Amino acid sequence: MKIKKSLAISETGFVFDPSTGDSYTLNPIGLEILQMLREGNSREEITGTVTQAYDVDAMTFERYYFDFLGMLKQMQLVETDE
């Protein structure tokens, strides 16, 4: 999954989509995941990083991870393959 290149993402978790004018705020973990997605990290790499850094098991994290990806798609913050 590729994050839109046009997104402006601040260090504090503020995300601005210039194509729609919409803005969002992420918590620190959401920001970390979004940055890893933007860097092209795989699901496995992201899961490993987050489960090592935070008190969460892989199964629980992946459930929330897929919910987060769904939210990104719904908000049209990902590039389409069309």
Q: Is residue 79 part of a domain?
A: no
Decide if pLDDT at 81 tops 90: no
For the chain, the domain total comes to 1
The pLDDT of residue 1? 81
Q: Is residue 82 part of a domain?
A: no
User: What stretches of 1-82 show up as alpha helix (H) in DSSP?
Assistant: 28-38, 43-53, 58-74
Decide if pLDDT at 71 tops 80: yes
User: Distance between CA 45 and CA 74 in Å, rounded?
Assistant: 23
* Domain membership of residue 12 as a residue range: 8-74
Q: Is residue 67 part of a domain?
A: yes
Decide if pLDDT at 14 tops 60: yes
The pLDDT of residue 66? 96
Decide if pLDDT at 52 tops 90: yes
The pLDDT of residue 79? 86
Mean pLDDT of 39-58: 96
- Please give the C-alpha separations between residue 12 and each of 9, 17, 36, 45, 50, in angstroms, as whole numbers: 8, 16, 15, 23, 18
Task: Give the residue among 55, 79, 78 at the shortest CA–CA distance from 68.
Answer: 78
Q: Is residue 34 part of a domain?
A: yes
Burial of residue 15, with CB atoms counted within 10 A of its CB: 0-12 exposed, 13-18 middle, 19 or more buried: buried
Q: Is residue 80 part of a domain?
A: no
